[in-house]
Structure 1
Amino acid sequence: MKIFDITLPIHPEMLHWGRKPEVEVVESLANGDASNVTRWRLGAHTGTHVDAPAHFVDGATPVDQLDLHALVGPALVADLTAVTGDIGVADLEAAGVSGQRRVLLKTSNSAGPLKATERAPSWVGLSPEAAQWLITEGVALIGIDYLTIESHTRTETWDAHHVLLGAGLIILENADLDGVPGGTYELVCLPTKLVGADGSFARAILIERDA
């Protein structure tokens, strides 16, 4: 069994949309305390994280009530590293996404923008038309290797988010797929159980089992 950890490390200098994580030392052995204790200030959408439908739809499913069956199970890593701009329907069809329940989009983001510490001026995102196509194909979870699945040209209207979350899909963002070849794996994605939250940071792994 081979395990790919596709989770970004969380630290104060990391790539983040908005305010970066902050760490406070509450107790330390060096200062004579009984143990080392830290307090972290960070947003629900820090690092590798899950967007629940409640992120864009009032009254929709929050992250603590997501179906674990959608977050754990076979997943396709679709190699879209040759795509520039928005991922379209034809790109998804060519990558074999049709009929898949869980899909992770591996793009040029993994080797480029995802490795930076500041947001890039552009990145590969998902077109609204492709988002709608995923719904018709019965996809339950869609992931991508950047801060957002949204195109860099649509961060005012958030069209793909409205389409996907409005239909109840789960979005996984900031998945580090740089060292993961395209193919089928077992996904284990467990967001922290933040009650009533619009999303949550998660530990996500892909498992490749021996034949």
Structure 2
Amino acid sequence: MKIYDITLPIHPEMLHWGRKPEVEIVESLANGDASNVTRWRIGAHTGTHVDAPAHFVDGATPIDEVSLDSMVGPAVVVDMTGLTGDVTAADLDAAGVAGEKRILLKTTNSAGPLKETERAPSWIGLAPDAAKWIVANGVELIGIDYLTIESHSRTESWDSHHVLLGNDVLILENADLDAVAPGRYELVCLPAKLAGADGSFTRAILIDRDGE
């Protein structure tokens, strides 16, 4: 089998929203300590991460209580690299993904904005009608290859987040799909178990059981 690590590495100069990660050296062998120990200051939504319903809905499910069944299992990577605008319901219909529980959208973000260290002025996101399509079709997890699944033009109203998280659909963001061909895989996405948190950074992999 072949394993694709779709997780962004976390470091102080990485692509970020808000504050950059900070690393403090607590102990080091070079300084005569018994071991190397670091302390990291990072947000729950740093790097590749999962948004829990509690991110936008007070009292909704936090990340430590979301179902692992939604984050582990068959997934489809959909080729949306031909789009120059946000993914719409019509695009999802055309992709033939109705009935899928876990969908990852591979866009031009993977080879472009995702590789930069500063937030881009625009990126490919998910249109609100596509978010409604996802809910109507019983999708449990939707992923995309950028800081946020929200359209760059809707980061004040956050329409797609409200639709998705308000209906308990998990969102995987910052999935690096550049080296992943469209197709079917097994997704293993395990966010840190941060008690009561609105989301968490995660290690996410795609497994191709027939790959070499």
In the aligned structure 2, how far is the partner of 1:59 from the partner of 1:189? Answer: 24
Gaps of 5+ in 2: none
| Unpaired segments ≥5 residues, structure 1 | none
Residues 78, 96 of structure 1: 8 Å contact kept: no
Aligned to 2:20: 20
Amino acid at match of 2:120: A
Q: Distance in 2 between matches of 1:94 and 1:82?
A: 13
Letter in 2 for 1:133: W
Deviation at 1:139, TM superposition (A): 0.1
Cα distance, 1:182 vs. partner? 0.3
Take 2:101 and 2:141, find their aligned partners in 1: how far apart are those partners? Answer: 7
Q: Describe how 1:70-81 pairs up with structure 2 within 5 A.
A: 70-81=70-81
Q: Which residue of 2 aligns with 1:107?
A: 107
CA shift digits 1:11-48 (9 cap, x unpaired): 00000001000000000000000000000000000000
User: What residue is the counterpart of 1:42 in the other structure?
Assistant: 42
Alignment of 1:107-186 (within 5 A): 107-186=107-186
Query: Match for residue 53 of structure 1?
Result: 53
Shift of 1:95: 1.5
Q: Quick check: 1:12–1:20 contact (8 Å CA) kept in 2?
A: yes
Identity %: 76
Once residues 181 and 2 of structure 2 are traced to their aligned partners in structure 1, the CA distance between those partners, rounded to angstroms, is 12
* 1:61-105 deviation line (CA, Å, top 9, x unaligned): 000001000000000100100011111111111122211000000
Distance in 2 separating the partners of 1:85 and 1:116: 19
Paired letter, 2:53: P
Alpha-carbon separation, structure 1, partners of 2:162 and 2:173: 15
The alignment yields a C-alpha RMSD, in angstroms, of 0.7
- How many pairs are equivalent? 211
4+ residue runs of structure 1 moved beyond 2 angstroms? none
Normalised TM-score (structure 1): 0.99
Deviation at 1:192, TM superposition (A): 0.1
- 1:68 maps to amino acid: L
